[in-house]
Amino acid sequence: MTTAVKVRGLTKRYGDVQAVGGIDLDIDAGEVFAILGPNGAGKSTTVEILEGYRRRDAGEVSVLGTDPGRPTREWRSRVGIVLQSTGDAGEMTVRETVRHFAGYYPRAQDPDEVIERVGLAEKAGRRVGELSGGQRRRVDVALGVIGSPELLFLDEPTTGFDPEARRRFWELIQGLAHEGTTIVLTTHYLDEVEALADRVAVIARGRIVAEGEPSTLGGRATAQATVRWAGGSVETGTPTRTVMELTRRFDGEIPELTVTRPSLEDVYLGLIGS
Amino acid sequence: MTQTTTAPSVSAVAASPAMPSTLRLGLSQAAAENRTFFRRRDAMIFTFSFPIILLVIFGSIFSSTVEGTGLTVSQLYVAGLIGSATMTGFQNLGIGIALNRDDGTLKRLAGTPLPPAAYFMGKALNTLLVSFVQVVILLVIGVALFDLDLPSAASDWLTFTWVFVLGVLGSSLLGIAVSSLPRSGSSASAVIAMPFVVLQFISGVFIPARELPEWLSQIAAIFPLKWMCQGFRAVFLGEDGATLEPTNSYELGRVALILGAWVIGGLVLCLTTFRWKSRNDG
């Protein structure tokens, strides 16, 4: 397994504010890695340093073997970036825009295939400015992947989507991940992390406070479970035994039975100290 | 076509194909810019009609002749407004790029392998086309309505060509450079339009150069517009008009020198000060 992103001791300060206070990160090639964190926690700063948009104060950073503080055209051609939003008027059609961007790259994919893959085949002849927000987002993704990137940055990709559009978008991202593209995803949606990410890091106050698989983050899998039923609840490390006892007590069906472990959201909110 | 050289890749990408050349990308940017410009109907119509309306207004108000020359005042305005049309790139690019910086378009481009020089080239070529159409319209109206005589000598058209090309390139590059000055896209039109209007008044577009106080002329002489207007007067007013110049000469050598210096200086300014991101974005 090769490493796509390697970060050691990354720091960045804006005036008196320590935005990033010493971050270490390893992202393997082919992995979908999510970065979570509240606004102002240093998440965007960290990602923008990895994308080559921002300079760091200190630390070692290597993205696809290159220091993003000194981006070259060659390196740029191997990295795809899908930013939060662009507000240009979009007078060119979807096909013209994707074809135009394809010309920037030495290893571009076929524009029509990419348009097809992001689900815009029927809109290919429409001007970008005439599309809905969700459709424009798909254009953003098409432009991010047109150069066949080895590494793709997705910055809050589904903000403002309706639930169905989000599901379809997830399938698109899963398809890219399946083909071996390394994906670095920042998002506020925890269900998005559970659906897409192999691993997740939580950034709070400029540091990584937890890192792991979404299902085990922050000791989630081994945490105490809560068993609830009509008339009572108990927190226990052995919920199966509790349910068996309840089965005997109620002689069959337990009314309103639920067994829950902390959701990713519970764990996340605990980690960021809310 | 020139190929930009890329450093040998240290990565494991086997036999990586060459990066697209800056020249090819610049032409492709220009094609996209032109397409976008002509599809933005409202902006296009106003861009082209503005100098026409000015010419019709000024040409109709001042229809007298200039004493001792046999030239009409409206002919002076045709030459001046051609100078102003040649410099519209300054305003269009200064404002347009500031807006693009704010709306994230530039940030997106910065994340691609597009070299900044290709981006500048696309903007400059688009401006060349837009200014050219403006100038052609002005000439047609000048000939049809205001007794403008087109020069017949090939040397005059040669002068016209180099003044026009150097003027457009210099003012485009200057426009790209000043687009970094406004703090945000919404303040851009105020920040950029003011100096452009002032320049037009002190550079001989609306007011003949010899009627300006000395100190204003000296300020105008720093910027390219005065020299562009002077060059166009040489083409369209000919020897009759030379006596109207403060120095009794069009000084074409100096015009070439100063416009050339602005092209080079503008390019250096762009390459050294250009920012893809807005100021409040680090």
Give residue-wise pLDDT tens across range A12-32.
999 888 999 999 999 999 999
Q: Return the pLDDT at B6.
A: 44
Q: Which residues contact B126 (CB under 8 A, 6 or more apart)?
A: B30, B33, B34, B37
User: Domain for residue B280, yes or no?
Assistant: no
| Same-domain check for residues A231 and A121 | no
Total residue count of chain B as it appears in this document: 282
pLDDT confidence band for A221 (50 / 70 / 90):
confident
User: Domain for residue B12, yes or no?
Assistant: no
Give mean pLDDT, residues B91-105: 89
| Same-domain check for residues A167 and A232 | no
Q: Return the pLDDT at B66.
A: 73
**A15 lies within 8 A of chain B by CB:** no
pLDDT confidence band for B1 (50 / 70 / 90):
very low
| Same-domain check for residues A180 and A245 | no
Measured between alpha carbons, how far is B166 from B224 in angstroms, rounded to an integer?
9
| Same-domain check for residues A166 and A232 | no
Measured between alpha carbons, how far is B46 from B146 in angstroms, rounded to an integer?
22
Write the single-letter amino acid at A257.
L
Question: Is B60's pLDDT higher than 70?
Answer: yes
- Say whether B11 and A88 touch across the interface (CB within 8 A): no
- Say whether B111 and A81 touch across the interface (CB within 8 A): yes
Give mean pLDDT, residues B55-64: 81
Residue carrying the six token digits 């096909």: A95
Give mean pLDDT, residues B68-86: 83
Between B11, B20, B103, which is nearest A88 by CB?
B103
Q: Return the pLDDT at A115.
A: 93
User: Domain for residue B93, yes or no?
Assistant: yes
The residue segments making up the domain with residue A234 are 223-271
- Beta-strand pair A199-204/A258-260: unpaired
| Same-domain check for residues A130 and A201 | yes
Q: Return the pLDDT at B10.
A: 43
Both tokens of A219, joined, read: 């000791």
Helix (H, G, I), strand (E, B), or coil: what is residue B153?
Answer: coil
pLDDT confidence band for A67 (50 / 70 / 90):
very high
The residue segments making up the domain with residue B126 are 22-274
Measured between alpha carbons, how far is A235 from B136 in angstroms, rounded to an integer?
83
Q: What is the DSSP string of chain A?
A: --EEEEEEEEEEEETTEEEEEEEEEEEETT-EEEEE--TTSSHHHHHHHHTTSS--SEEEEEETTB-TTS--HHHHTTEEEE-S-------SBHHHHHHHHHTT-TTPPPHHHHHHHTT-GGGTTSBGGGS-HHHHHHHHHHHHHTT--SEEEEESTTTT--HHHHHHHHHHHHHHHHTT-EEEEE-S-HHHHHHH-SEEEEEETTEEEEEE-TTTGGGTTTSPEEEEETTEEEEES-HHHHHHHHHHHHTSPPTT-EEE---HHHHHHHHTT-
User: Domain for residue B186, yes or no?
Assistant: yes
Q: Which of B87, B134, B183, B17 is nearest to A106 (CA)?
A: B17
Measured between alpha carbons, how far is B28 from A103 in angstroms, rounded to an integer?
8
Give mean pLDDT, residues B165-186: 90
Q: Which of B256, B257, B279, B267 is nearest to B116 (CA)?
A: B267
Residues of A in contact with B105 (CB under 8 A): 86-88
Q: How far is A81 from chain B (nearest CA, A)?
A: 6
| Same-domain check for residues A116 and A249 | no
Residues of B in contact with A87 (CB under 8 A): 102-105
DSSP-H helix ranges across chain B: 22-39, 41-61, 73-86, 88-102, 105-110, 116-145, 154-178, 188-202, 214-220, 224-236, 238-242, 252-273
Give mean pLDDT, residues B28-57: 90
- Say whether A64 and B11 touch across the interface (CB within 8 A): yes
Contact assessment for residue A20 and residue A12, using Cβ atoms and an 8 Å cutoff: yes
B281 to chain A: nearest residue by CA?
A54
Measured between alpha carbons, how far is A229 from A259 in angstroms, rounded to an integer?
9
**A86 lies within 8 A of chain B by CB:** yes
Measured between alpha carbons, how far is B263 from A244 in angstroms, rounded to an integer?
85
pLDDT confidence band for A111 (50 / 70 / 90):
very high
| Same-domain check for residues A207 and A263 | no
**A78 lies within 8 A of chain B by CB:** yes
Question: Is B227's pLDDT higher than 70?
Answer: yes
| Same-domain check for residues A227 and A152 | no
Question: Is A240's pLDDT higher than 80?
Answer: yes
Residue carrying the six token digits 């950029």: B192
User: Domain for residue B233, yes or no?
Assistant: yes
- Say whether B115 and A101 touch across the interface (CB within 8 A): no
- Beta-strand pair A58-63/A182-186: unpaired
| Same-domain check for residues A69 and A134 | yes
Q: Return the pLDDT at B280.
A: 61
| Same-domain check for residues A174 and A106 | yes
**A104 lies within 8 A of chain B by CB:** yes
Residue of B112, B119, B275 to mutate, testing the A interface (most A Cβ within 10 Å of its Cβ): B112
- Say whether B36 and A91 touch across the interface (CB within 8 A): yes
User: Domain for residue B261, yes or no?
Assistant: yes
**B279 lies within 8 A of chain A by CB:** no
Question: Is B43's pLDDT higher than 90?
Answer: no
Q: How far is B28 from chain A (nearest CA, A)?
A: 7
**A96 lies within 8 A of chain B by CB:** yes
Measured between alpha carbons, how far is A34 from A178 in angstroms, rounded to an integer?
16
Question: What is the count of structural domains for chain B?
Answer: 1
| Same-domain check for residues A231 and A151 | no
| Same-domain check for residues A227 and A135 | no
User: Domain for residue B51, yes or no?
Assistant: yes
- Say whether A85 and B104 touch across the interface (CB within 8 A): yes
* Residue A271 C-beta-side C-alpha neighbours within 13 Å: 26
Q: What angle do CA B126, A79, B279 make, to 5 degrees?
A: 60
Contact assessment for residue B245 and residue B152, using Cβ atoms and an 8 Å cutoff: no
Q: Return the pLDDT at B7.
A: 44
Question: What is the count of structural domains for chain A?
Answer: 2
